[in-house]
Chain A
Amino acid sequence: MEKKMKKLLSKHEFYISLVIVLLCAMIEIRSGQFFTPNNLVDLGSALIVPGLFAIGAFMVIVSGGIDVSFPALASLSVYTTTRILTDIDYKGGILLPIVMVLAFGALLGAFNGFFIAKLKLPTMIITLGTSSVFKGIMQGVLNSTQIPNIPEGMKKFGNDALFVALNKESGLTSKMPIAFLILIVAIGLAYFVLRYTMFGRALFAIGGNESSAYRAGFNVERTKFILYVVVGAVSSLAGLIRVCMMGQCHPTNMLGMEMMIIAGVVLGGVAITGGDGTLTGCMLGTILIVMVQNSLILLGIPTYWQGFFLGTLIIVGTGISAMQVLRNSKRLVRKKSEEESS
């Protein structure tokens, strides 16, 4: 029992859950509105897009890189898809848009992958560059404008509710969109891939130590390339869901989300240097960020404090995980020297 407690206390996920519970309690006490069915459902539906983005960001960070291009990438592929479908007056269901957006996302992801995997250039700087290129293609070459009327099929997909929650006191209702299922499926898939496939294990190995992974026989170049293709596709899917849920395509409105997503992943205890972290932690971190964003108003704090709180959260979160890494490596060194002396 004691051992179990100790193990629990050493886990990052435990602390982040604690913070979430405390925040929930604080909001509930201040406003009395937190544990109402419609607020919880609202939070759930606000989690869909950041959650999907976070899965992609998580995989990249585990492999030892930092991708800041995914919002621009998603914006470009979603805008292209919506534009084409609106122009040909598409009347069908959601299947074709999903296939198209996945294809565009994979293509743009391959563009990232070419520079990062084939030329072995630093991920962060390359993705800064590609995100600028994607933005330029969307706003300059394609001359993007807001698309107010997206195809019926997409609108229907965004509006269809899995279930509807009703707040009996205020009479407010909130819908849980069907897209929530996609998030759950994606989490399940990511969990399986990261844990039980060679590709997933390769990501952790590469993030831990790239040359060791190479020597151990992992095909580093191919794994990384596939990773960026997959991340491109997943992020684009998230973008499509966002457009469907909003009922209109606003090309620039996703840009700038990258920091918030990365902050969430890192808050969840994922080592920024790569090789370590859990999907559970990543999701908990994302939930915390979404809660901070959605619930400041319930706490009676003006929204312009958001940046301040976000910055503090990132610094504290990354600081704690960096100090843990430091402590662990020191402990390792001490253990080693003790073994040697004995």
Chain B
Amino acid sequence: MNENKVSIRKKLYNFYEKDVYTSRLIIMLLAVLISMLILRPGKFFTFVNFQTMVAQFPEFGLMSLGIMMCMITGGIDLSVVGIANLASISSAIMLKAMVAADGSLAWYGILVSILCGIVIGLLAGVLNGILVAKIHIPPILATLGSYELFSGIAIVLTKGKAISGLPMEYSSVISGKLFGIIPVQLIIFVIMAAVLSFLLTRTTFGPRIYMLGTNMKAAEFSGLNTSGLLIKTYALSGICAALGGLVMLANYNSARADYGAVYTLQCVLIVVLGGVNPDGGKGRISGVVFSILVLQMLSSGLNMFPQISNFYKPLIWGGVLLLAMTLNYFSENRGRSK
């Protein structure tokens, strides 16, 4: 009996040791769920609340996936919010332009404007990739600069105002629900996560970018087309960000150059918390998805306490980020000394 207990504990410990990041996230997830169960059972554990949550997180979840891809190569993409806004603004302009005189939208209108957003995201990502791979600007600076540039263009396009009065068809498609239950935003997120997961684990692209992130020089000398790979990675990140922007457009039913400005930090936090190493070469989709879920639950949970003002959120995000980094530091150093 006693022996059995020990072995379970040992098994759990082994599991924890094997994948520290994911286990830590599962513990955090459970902690949030349990504390909500004690403090706000009637409000938190409702079907509607969960439906709202899964409709909310794809906005920044998609952007986090993009940042994750770049971080695996040892870079970072800080321009995701800029790309998202630029994509949503150009789609919004497209949508408005295609409304017929009688106020109706042709069936292909939604498709064309979504495509337009994705193409903008792709182009923006390719620009980032060229800046990083061909001109060799450090990714942090290249994408910070292009963030200014993309949101600058977005401001010029809108003259700093919000674009609203969009045809209702668009947002009713994207923020609609499949079979009346599953929010379409969630489906977009799941598809993108599945595509990236497929790319990372089932194609040669995955191992190549992991290798790129582990050692750029070694990857180059072993004959990998490093700049091509980098450009592809940043382009993928651009597409993810653009999809995030399209979801934002549907959720707010308007577009503006400064929406989602807090998402940059939040996405970096999610990715680092999800066990992706900022130096590159490490990280998995599952970790990032878990950390997205944890943050969304934490955030929705906090909203149920009116006495905690929204201004505390940056403190909590920053605190969690610092804590996660410190924990990573200690767990990595312990591994090294062994």
Contact = CB atoms under 8 A, between A and B. Distances in A.
A266 interface: yes
Interface residues of B, number: 44
Contact of A262 (B144, B309, B314, B315): B144
Given A125-B268, A266-B141, A325-B136, A133 B150 contact: no
A163 interface: no
B318 interface: yes
A308 B135 contact: no
Given A136-B313, A140-B309, A319 B318 contact: no
A314 B156 contact: no
A43 to B, nearest CB: 22
Nearest to B308: A140
A315 B136 CA distance: 11
Interface in A260-286: 262-263, 266, 272-273
Interface centre among B137, B149, B265 (most CB of A within 10 A): B137
Interface stretch (B21-29, B174-182, B184-192, B322-330): B322-330
Interface string B196-217: 0000000000000000000000
Contacts of B228: none
Contact of B131 (A66, A130, A140, A319): A319
A127 to B, nearest CB: 10
Interface in A106-149: 115, 119-122, 124-126, 128-137, 139-141, 143
Given A136-B317, A140-B314, 9 more contacts: A124-B140, A126-B325, A128-B268, A132-B317, A133-B314, A262-B144, A304-B160, A311-B151, A319-B137
A311 B314 contact: no
B4 to A, nearest CB: 40
Contact of B142 (A120, A134, A304, A315): A315
> Interface residue tally of chain A, by bracket?
35 or more
29 contacts: A115-B325, A119-B326, A121-B325, A121-B329, A122-B279, A124-B140, A125-B278, A126-B325, A128-B321, A132-B265, A133-B319, A134-B318, A136-B312, A136-B316, A140-B309, A140-B315, A272-B137, A305-B152, A307-B152, A307-B156, A308-B153, A308-B155, A310-B148, A311-B150, A314-B144, A315-B131, A319-B137, A322-B135, A326-B136
Interface of B: 76, 131, 135-138, 140-142, 144-153, 155-156, 159-160, 265, 268-269, 272, 278-279, 309, 311-319, 321-322, 325-326, 329
A310 B152 contact: yes
A309 interface: yes
A311 B315 contact: no
Contacts of B159: 302, 304
B145 A263 contact: yes
Contacts of B160: 304
A310 B156 CA distance: 13
Interface in A283-327: 302, 304-312, 314-315, 318-319, 322-323, 325-326
A302 B156 CA distance: 9
A259 interface: yes
Contacts of B150: 311
Contacts of A323: 135-136
A114 B322 CA distance: 11
Contact of B135 (A141, A312, A319): A319
Contacts of B155: 304, 307-308
